[in-house]
């Protein structure tokens, strides 16, 4: 949207916030109100009467580069901590396209300063949230590591105990086999005299 600079307060306003005198000079609504007691224009001293100040109704057309700059600015202005990554990507792409095209340096400087004014303020909550999250992530990583370490230790202990149990079982099996062999041999030696009778 086109803005007009008030030559009294030097702020920029949209046309609906401007009032014009019969001499053709215009000022913002606030400054026009302050000038109500004057009976001449502060710029050209042309006499003015009460009720002279009037709005104008006109459609201003932006130049191509102004329009492009306005589009890019609008896109960048919308970026805040809640923006999706696709929105940010689209706006950055628009900016890249704008930078690649042949627009005047004045457009660029103006646009970028306007954008820089608000962007940091809007995005800084996001940055602190990212920092917060990466802090939480580090804490979780450390916790995970500790849990993993404890798990490995207890696993090693269980394996150790299993090994001892297996060794004991093997020993008992050997003893049992030996005892069985002896019993078997005994049984055979007891049977032999009877069978030779
Ligand atoms: Zn003003
Ligand atoms: Zn005037």
Give the Cα separation of 1 and 109 in Å (integer): 18
In the chain, the N- to C-terminal Cα span, in Å, equals 128
Give the number of whichever ligand sits closest to the CA of residue 22: 2
Among residues 159, 168, 66, 176, the alpha carbon closest in space to that of 110 is found at 66
Strands (E), the chain: 3-5, 12-14, 18-20, 26-28
Give the number of whichever ligand sits closest to the CA of residue 40: 2
Distance between Cα 25 and ligand 2 center (Å): 5
Tens of pLDDT along 7-24?
999 998 989 999 999 999
Give this prediction's pTM.
0.40
Range 86-93, long-range pairs (CB < 8 A, 24+ positions) = none
Tens of pLDDT along 165-186?
999 999 999 999 999 999 999 9
pLDDT of residue 193: 64
Among residues 64, 74, 135, the alpha carbon closest in space to that of 104 is found at 64
């Amino acid at each position: 949207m086109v803005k007009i600079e008030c030559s009294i307060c030097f702020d920029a306003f949209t046309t609906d916030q401007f009032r014009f005198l019969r001499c053709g000079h215009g000022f913002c609504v606030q400054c026009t109100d302050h000038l109500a007691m004057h009976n001449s224009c502060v710029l050209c001293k042309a006499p003015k009467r009460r009720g002279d100040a009037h709005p104008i109704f006109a459609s201003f057309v932006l130049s191509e580069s102004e329009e492009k700059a306005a589009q890019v600015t609008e896109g960048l202005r919308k970026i805040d901590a809640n923006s999706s990554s696709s929105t940010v990507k689209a706006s950055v792409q628009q900016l890249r396209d704008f930078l690649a095209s042949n627009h005047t340096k004045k457009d660029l400087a103006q646009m970028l300063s306007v954008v820089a004014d608000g962007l940091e303020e809007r995005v800084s909550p996001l940055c602190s949230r990212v920092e917060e999250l990466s802090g939480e992530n580090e804490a979780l990583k450390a916790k995970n590591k500790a849990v993993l370490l404890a798990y490995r230790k207890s696993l090693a202990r269980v394996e150790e105990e299993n090994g001892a149990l297996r060794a004991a079982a093997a020993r008992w099996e050997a003893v049992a086999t030996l005892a069985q062999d002896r019993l078997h041999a005994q049984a055979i030696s007891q049977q032999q005299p009877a069978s030779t009778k």
